[in-house]
């Protein structure tokens, strides 16, 4: 039980990679705050599976584009569990792949407003996270792979990597580690590629398959454990070796 008794916030954890992370942390002994933007039923399903594993969990609605939601998240978590030891920034909106010449302001803002929410979630963690806590933010391997029509999306994620690298320097004296994890192509309902594109990327992946949410969750769980106490300011790619 590597995180037994710890309290973790996992944003965007009603489905996909966030769901897998929340469930893995519950299995590892953490009490988990599951956040969701719209589908409470899915979030409550995750709460139920975590509680079935013997940990405690609660669901809180958070729109990462709304700063008041972000700022109140830690307060609500502390009211419920008395502390917060772990923050996993996983929440993401719709990933829009569009040529630069065609991207609208509204589409651009829809991605970067989530990025802004991640920044202020990190700010709240800087204020309220317990000493020797852990922060992991989810990025994308697209930040090191030039993808046609992916510039705005990759830029929104690359900013999160820089937020995290700077914060690691700021919080190190408190024993708090700050890292990012970048999945590759992962089998979630947010996957926007067609089958031919997926097959092509699989052939480029040394481990020879499509990533699964649990692959990313296991990498995150490692960084959240005490075994990773000497790892901070790092960018870990959980992508089967595609880059």
Residues annotated as part of the active site: 153
CB 188 within 8 A of CB 16: yes
Q: What is the DSSP string of 133-174?
A: -EEEEE--GGGSS--TT-HHHHHHHHHHHHHHHHHHHHHGGG
Distance, in Å, from the CA atom of 128 to the CA atom of 80, rounded to the nearest integer, reads: 14
Q: Tokens at residue 19, please?
A: 């769901």
Longest dimension (CA), the chain: 51
Distance, in Å, from the CA atom of 74 to the CA atom of 124, rounded to the nearest integer, reads: 7
């Amino acid at each position: 039980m590597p995180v037994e008794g710890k309290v973790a916030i996992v944003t965007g954890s009603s489905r996909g990679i966030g769901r897998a992370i929340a469930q893995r942390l519950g299995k590892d002994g953490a009490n988990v705050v599951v956040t969701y933007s719209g589908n409470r039923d899915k979030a409550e399903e995750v709460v139920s599976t975590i509680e079935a594993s013997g940990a405690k969990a609660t669901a809180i609605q958070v729109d990462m584009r709304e700063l008041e939601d972000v700022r109140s998240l830690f307060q609500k978590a502390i009211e419920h569990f008395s502390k917060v030891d772990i923050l996993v920034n996983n929440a993401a909106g719709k990933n829009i792949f569009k040529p630069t010449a065609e991207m609208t302001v509204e589409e651009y803002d829809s991605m970067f407003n989530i990025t802004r929410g991640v920044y202020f979630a990190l700010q709240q963690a800087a204020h309220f996270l317990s000493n020797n806590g852990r922060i992991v933010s989810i990025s994308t391997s697209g930040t090191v792979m030039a993808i046609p029509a992916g510039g705005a999306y990759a830029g929104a994620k690359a900013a999160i990597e820089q937020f995290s690298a700077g914060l690691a320097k700021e919080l190190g004296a408190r024993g708090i580690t700050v890292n990012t994890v970048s999945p590759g192509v992962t089998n979630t309902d947010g996957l926007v590629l067609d089958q031919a594109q997926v097959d092509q990327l699989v052939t480029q992946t040394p481990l020879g398959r499509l990533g699964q949410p649990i692959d990313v969750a296991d990498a995150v769980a490692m960084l959240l454990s005490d075994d990773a106490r000497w790892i901070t300011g790092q960018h870990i790619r959980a992508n089967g070796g595609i880059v």
